[in-house]
């Protein structure tokens, strides 16, 4: 797929940030065309609410065509996918166990 315009494809991923007492979790939503981070959210749990919050924030600023993620439970949750569907966004998920699918 050729990405040739802004807001054609966004992607999201979660990064674990090690701290002395455990982890924090950072979700970032990126525009594949510009490679800019559109929004991010930090959480002390892997509960899907922080991913949904970041998604809703990003959707407030632009309309996109395709949203790509891995098959993490936060991104496959009904409320997350429903939010994308309600916005008219096509959902793209990388193959199960294919950790390098969403790397460029």
Domain boundaries, the chain: 9-93
User: From first to last of its 104 residues, what are the pLDDT tens digits of the chain?
Assistant: 899 999 999 999 999 999 999 999 999 999 999 999 999 999 999 999 999 999 999 999 999 999 999 999 999 999 999 999 999 999 999 866 544 454 44
Contacts of 13 (CB under 8 A, 6+ apart): 27, 28, 69, 70, 102
Torsions phi, psi of 80, nearest 5?
-70, -50
> Residue 1: its pLDDT value, please?
80
The CATH code belonging to domain 9-93 is 3.30.420.10
Distance CA(30)–CA(69), nearest Å, equals 11
The 3-state secondary structure of 46-97 reads CCCHHHHHHHHHHHCCCCCCEEEECCCHHHHCHHHHHHHHHCCCEEEECCCC
Model-level pTM greater than 0.75?
yes
């Amino acid at each position: 797929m050729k990405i040739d315009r802004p807001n054609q494809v966004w992607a999201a991923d979660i990064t674990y940030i090690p701290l002395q007492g455990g982890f924090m979790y950072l979700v970032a939503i990126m525009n594949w065309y510009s490679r800019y981070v559109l929004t991010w959210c930090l959480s002390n749990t892997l509960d899907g609410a922080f991913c949904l919050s970041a998604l809703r924030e990003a959707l407030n600023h632009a309309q996109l065509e395709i949203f790509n993620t891995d098959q993490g439970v936060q991104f496959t949750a009904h409320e997350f996918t429903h939010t994308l569907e309600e916005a008219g966004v096509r959902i793209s998920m990388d193959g199960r166990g294919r950790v390098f699918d969403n790397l460029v």
